[in-house]
Amino acid sequence: MDRNQSGMAATRGRLASLIVLCCLLACKMPDDKVWPRNQSLLLFNPHVADFICEIEASKVPPIDAQAEDWFLEARALEDPEIFVEDRDYKKIVDLTRQAAQRSHWKAMLNLASLYVEGRDPLYGEEEAVQLVEKAMRLGVPAAYDRMGTYYANGTGVNGDITRAYAFWQKAAQMGNPQAMDFLSDKLNVGPANEGAGYWANIPVAIKMMECAFSQGYGPVAYNLSYMYASPRMATGRVSGPRTLETKALALKVLHEGVAFGCEKCANKLTIEFGDPFDLANMLVPYIDKARAERYGVLSRELGFNPNARFPNLDKVLPLPPADLPPWNGDRDTLLHAATGVRPPPATPKPSAASLLQKPYFLAADYALHPTGLHSDAPTAPFSAYWQPAQGQGVTEPARLFRKGEEFRHFSVLDADGKSRYGSVTWEQCLTIRQNHGAVEPRAVHGLLREVARPEPWLSCACDQACPVSGVWQPWVAADHPLQAIVNQYWRQAWLNQGAPFPRPRRDWLLDLPDGDVTWHLMDASLPDLG
């Protein structure tokens, strides 16, 4: 979870009752010259007939690998284990700003939060809004979600709950899972709730929840489990009793929500397995104090560290009817076994760029990839590696330019074959990881366990049976539009030999063909819980 999400959820809840008072206010007329904060938006409409699931990862700009490392380093410095007063916020701000200057969209939004929190005395709410606007211009759905929260809170803009909901609606339509979770909760009302029969739109609420869940957004699993457990009419009224099938589906969603980092899901399963409120209507097939204890450990950890994920939960806590593996009762033993894994990073060989001096120098960990983004401006539009575009007769290695730094001039031949000295067209280059396509999921330090790469290296297609019990990592091509939500450690799965591999559409609710995904064995060690 990013640094603001939990706080924004609480703020939104307090503001939900204000919708009715503001729903008739109009938004501004369109104007190409207005700032993104003032753009014209459709008013929030809870009565839409349908919702089309868009995926945020396919909308955002590509992430620069070097900027990603700076971003992850900054995130690690905010480890919950470090007291707030002991954190080096100057370094956190500097690293986050470095990443943001490379158009790392998550860093841009985190830097905005740091400004709002007063972590850099030279920058405040106005600069935070400008950063969010920059991300909006890049088409980042999460930036629209953030602008909605700024309008709700009056952060750097005049508070306006109508515009807040309009921005949240836009963010959800663009693919932002946090906005989907929030709005679907507002559409999920029943006869006992204020606004029942008017705000309720259960079919759309479920589609929003499923779309957010397909992107690995854990908190939405809690509400989605209620939708699955008790069938409902569009108005929100329960239309039938819970069945074995609906309860099993709700239980599965809650369990997967725990793997995705949902504290409320873990807490609910602690109660369901340990001391359910309604024995006749409980989701679990039977009381199981041992399972309740393990979910309790996970719940407490997620309460302390919302960034934790447990993709290999089934290794230590499979759903019934599977037997529980033995456990010595040690908290860390359970948590470490359930977390994601990665192989030790290979030591990169020196590259030609790593032997050059600045500004041509690039660490051996990275390579450069031309993006196709050209600029004829006299100065660099943003901080990045730039090189003269091909076809101009200029041979010059890519070099790092700061935003606003003047581009070099060269002697080139014009259309008549005459030599001239002047400006050329430049092309941006993105840093990529120089690991030859190795399957190496990355995360903030402390969220992954490093394990030796298994031998032999096994890879399987989705339609195969698992050949070896262990931790398996799904992977798609580096240029796949959904790689940012597939090539992640939280997509890992502990599978027993002979089990089917998860399939994206069936098991993740993600519109991704099976053939695009390959599963790789990451760790074949058997559970060792003491």
What is the model's pLDDT at position 388? 93
Say whether pLDDT at 192 is over 70. no
Q: What is the band of 193 on the pLDDT scale with cuts at 50, 70, 90?
A: low
Paired with 474 in beta bridges are: 519
CB 308 within 8 A of CB 340: no
C-alpha radius of gyration, the chain, whole number: 25
What is the model's pLDDT at position 16? 42
207 vs 434, more confident: 207
What is the model's pLDDT at position 530? 63
Question: Is the CA virtual torsion 506, 509, 513, 515 positive or negative?
Answer: negative
Return the structure tokens found at 406. 């003047």
Paired with 421 in beta bridges are: 411
Name residues whose C-beta falls within 8 Å of residue 292's C-beta, 6 or more positions apart in sequence: 269, 270, 271, 272, 273, 274, 275
Question: Of 139, 140, 214, 211, whose CA–CA distance to 182 is shortest?
Answer: 211
Return the structure tokens found at 329. 């009762």
- Average pLDDT value for the chain: 90
Q: What is the band of 7 on the pLDDT scale with cuts at 50, 70, 90?
A: very low
Question: Of 65, 161, 35, whose CA–CA distance to 363 is shortest?
Answer: 65
Say whether pLDDT at 385 is over 90. yes
Say whether pLDDT at 459 is over 50. yes
Alpha carbons 56 and 376: distance in angstroms, whole number: 30
What is the model's pLDDT at position 32? 52
Say whether pLDDT at 457 is over 90. no
Cβ neighbours of 347 (radius 10 Å):
7
What is the model's pLDDT at position 238? 83
The mean pLDDT value for 402-408 works out to 94
What is the model's pLDDT at position 334? 96
What is the model's pLDDT at position 5? 52
Say whether pLDDT at 278 is over 70. yes
Alpha carbons 320 and 329: distance in angstroms, whole number: 20
What is the model's pLDDT at position 190? 60
Q: What percent of the chain has pLDDT over 70?
A: 91
Say whether pLDDT at 259 is over 70. yes
Which secondary structure element, helix H or strand E, spans residue 178, and what is its range? helix 177-187
Of 100-109, 117-126, 236-245, the least confident: 236-245
